[in-house]
Copies of this chain bind each other. A is one copy, B any other.
Amino acid sequence: MTDLSNSKELLKSLVERIEKLTEEKQAIADDIKDVYAEAKSSGFDTPALRALIKRRAEDAAKREEREAILESYMNALGMLSDTPLGQAALRAVG
């Protein structure tokens, strides 16, 4: 087996994986579209629904950011969140 044919096989594999993943991604995007269509036909206002989803995502991101900051503080204090002591500290400042 030469390097060249190895490269060729590798390229083929990469392309196939990307195309397969892209297909799956598109299928999911279509599913999402369908859910919005269903919502609309149930009388929900699509833009409002999108705004709601967006807001929830932002809130989640913010919460994660806060938790990351808190964890960095805890790390600075040598308290890992997976120890009982760290968990106690977390409750104390929570």
Contacts and interface: CB of A to CB of B under 8 A. Distances in A.
Report how many copies the assembly holds: 4
A52 B18 CA distance: 11
Contact of A18 (B32, B47, B70): B32
A61 interface: no
Interface residues of A, number: 43
B17 A45 contact: no
A32 to B, nearest CB: 5
25 contacts: A7-B43, A11-B73, A11-B77, A14-B39, A15-B49, A15-B53, A15-B56, A18-B36, A18-B53, A21-B28, A21-B31, A21-B35, A22-B32, A24-B28, A25-B25, A25-B28, A25-B32, A47-B66, A48-B66, A48-B69, A49-B73, A52-B70, A52-B73, A52-B77, A56-B77
Given A18-B35, A22-B53, A55-B70, 15 more contacts: A11-B76, A11-B77, A12-B76, A15-B52, A18-B53, A19-B53, A21-B28, A21-B32, A25-B25, A25-B29, A44-B73, A45-B69, A48-B66, A48-B73, A51-B70
